[in-house]
Amino acid sequence: MEEMEIFHHAHAVVGKFIVYFAVFLGINLFVALLGSSFSILLSAIVAFLYITEGIIIYYIIKKVCAGRSPGKNTSYVMLTINIIVLIVFFFTIYMAYLSIGSVGMLRYPYASFITPLVTLSFAAYSSSRVEDSLRDQLPFLGRRLGDSLRMMIIIGSLATFGVILNLLTIYWFDPGIAILIGIIGLRESLLRAIKTFKATTKEEKTENTQNVLKNVCLELPSVMDVKDIWIVECGHYCYGGCKILLSPLTTYTEMEEIKRYITSRTIYTIPHIIAIDILLEKVEEGIIKIAVPIADSNNVTSFDETNKFTILSIKYPEADIIEQETFDIAVSDYKIIPAQKAEELTLKRVEVVLSKGISNIASNELKGWFIKLYHPKSDDIRAAVKEFIYSLEK
């Protein structure tokens, strides 16, 4: 799946999530006011709690996909909503407590009985579908949305129990169960409020996430620098973006693959990120590193026939050699040696390997890190480098 398609898909899934909870909210609120059921009313408030989170996530993904940052104001909006919902929970729980001694049988008993059953049944059906639809792209977001729907299964089951006992003339059980539902919703709202408050006040957490994002980008040797990194923490989630400067040797086809790779690695490394805006820019000049496998005679040889390499730092496009380093790669018997050598060169941020020959294992490993492979005709190191630079100008 293309890198932006991941977030467009998530945007669509979150939209469905909002619709699901809008249905829960509408049905439960209508029947609660119609039948005077506190347990169904608290179920509606819990649904409102989750629908607000869904709307915020929907807004964040939409803005970031459009290349614009929602900014920290989004976190403040979420915090304000959480505080309002907390107050509503406290007030409704208090009203349910006062009604325990005076409540009677619910009006419209059939509607009051069917509503929580519909809620828990539909939540059970949709929770796995929502989570599975994001399992391969944004698993953390999918799990959070699935957990929210599974919470409605619990809420619906409790409300059903309360309504049934009320209809069996244990009238106080409906407001009693409502208090329990309210406590569950109160806990969820309080945890989210605390999480959001910490996200808006602790800058070091954002800085740590920015460093992780930068390190992910710099895993690739073709990435020369990472600038304009921004990360915003919002409740259980974060979102952000950065500008990546790529080597002048990078092709436009590789740019698309690099963006896809960095997006996937970012989601894997920062699981709670829900949207990231990556801007790629190819520089025209810079320092590139070229690795050359050499034999004892210091001539260019096959990649698989030696552990001795020379790394040259080249000023591009002038092709001036700024620095030259020769070293031996210490290989382990229990590892695949060609792949290990390729990995060592990646750690030294080599962008090009000049080799007389190379195995498929090593070649695939190098290409996986977007390292270019060139087979020079010349045996002399400097002549081979000039031959490669000349090939780029054709």
Q: Which residue has the tokens 């996937």?
A: 264
CATH number 3.30.70.1350 is the correct assignment for the domain at 204-282: yes
Strands 223-234 and 308-316: unpaired
State how far the Cα of 153 lies from the Cα of 119, in Å rounded to an integer.
7
CA 355, CA 306: separation in Å to the nearest integer? 11
pLDDT, tens digit (0-9, with 9 covering 90-100), for 364-384: 989 889 999 999 998 888 898
Output the pLDDT for position 137: 85
What pLDDT, on a 0 to 100 scale, did the predictor assign at position 246?
94
| Structure confidence at residue 26 as a pLDDT band (50, 70, 90) | very high
pLDDT, residue 208, reads 86
Report pLDDT digits (tens) over 47-82.
Answer: 999 999 999 999 988 888 777 777 667 888 888 888
Across the range 106-133, mean pLDDT stands at 90
Give the pLDDT score at 3: 55
The hierarchical CATH code for the domain 286-392 is 3.30.420.130
pTM of the entire predicted model: 0.81
Judge whether residue 1 has pLDDT over 50: no
- Tell me how far the alpha carbon of residue 224 is from its chain's centroid: 24
d(CA 206, CA 100): 47
Using pLDDT thresholds of 50, 70 and 90, give the confidence band for residue 203. Answer: low
The Cα 112–Cα 57 span in angstroms is 32
The domain locations on the chain are: 3-201, 204-282, 286-392
